[in-house]
Structure 1
């Protein structure tokens, strides 16, 4: 079932804030008031996952400049996140929030739980300041994501939110032309 246009259901989870080294509690309310990226991945201490999370860290300052907070989520505990952060060169660079989902509730809410494996799939969600999902992407386990794509998607989502009646075409970049859907455009693109 698509999450697009939906509010996030209620949840409470423990997380490791790798930016300040503290354990915190988060809820769906954390996804309101600013843009959020929620990045699910299968498991800590694995292979593709650290490359993705490190790549996300490489875009973190740019994302923060777009008033966007980042949350990574796996079915590991917040304690495991801290241990991974303390022992992995790639993960020790992270400064965003790492959410533990051992109950698998959040993974189920976002419909990314591989029930057989008990692990989250590689799901990426962009949530607007109202807590509504604006973009979603799910990759197979062997396909890593490129965080730079997120930056462009967030810019497009923010543009559309701030400019009602306009839409961003394929490969839209900030400053590029947008479209104003109308009868005049039908069949002319």
Structure 2
């Protein structure tokens, strides 16, 4: 599986975004924060609840300079049909990448063997194209967009504040830690 510290691999694909089909490549990701949000398939059950949740925080992510790329092994045509027919998916303004040739799911190593479907995987990429956060959940466990937002804020904070780290449940504006010999055994 792709892991923290790995670099985004090259890809080019078709996507559906805000009523249009557009081409998206790794070049569109470089230089900005990005979320790759893999899900198994369009027209399913847990997936639309996750994507609707993510659509709810998309404006906040945009304000933070973060772009979202949802990815399934469906086509961009299927994404459009789903967007047009589902009230939950109709709320999505971010990119819905088609990955019918499985290249992106393979790049992130989330393609399920023998199924042609992606696992539920979330990858946060920094502006240098490096993976900073990874989350994989099982088929029946949906993700929480609010927690993802918190984690991205922490990742951006530590990038902008070298030498500091964010403790458990850290929220923006709260105290951070500066790892040092003085802290060993005192937390």
2 CA distance for matches of 1:151 and 1:89? Answer: 23
Residue among 51, 75, 78 paired with 1:77 = 75
SS of 1:117's partner is coil
Q: TM-score, normalised by structure 1?
A: 0.96
2:6 counterpart residue number: 6
2 CA distance for matches of 1:10 and 1:64? Answer: 23
SS of 2:83's partner is helix
2 CA distance for matches of 1:78 and 1:98? Answer: 7
* 1:56-95 mapped onto 2 (5 Å cutoff): 56-95=54-93
1 CA distance for matches of 2:87 and 2:113? Answer: 30
Structure 1 residue 32: Cα displacement: 1.5
* Inter-CA distance 178–110: structure 2 relative to 1 (3 Å threshold): same
Residue deviations 1:127-175 (CA, integer Å, cap 9, x gap) = 1111111000000010011100111011100100000011111110011
1 CA distance for matches of 2:79 and 2:170? Answer: 36
* 1:6-155 mapped onto 2 (5 Å cutoff): 6-17=6-17, 19=18, 21-155=19-153
Q: TM-score, normalised by structure 2?
A: 0.97
Cα root mean square deviation, aligned: 0.9
Structure 1 residue 2: Cα displacement: 4.3
How many residue pairs match? The answer is 187
State the 4+ residue runs in structure 1 displaced beyond 3 angstroms.
none
Contact 2:39 2:72 in 1 (8 A): yes
SS of 1:152's partner is helix
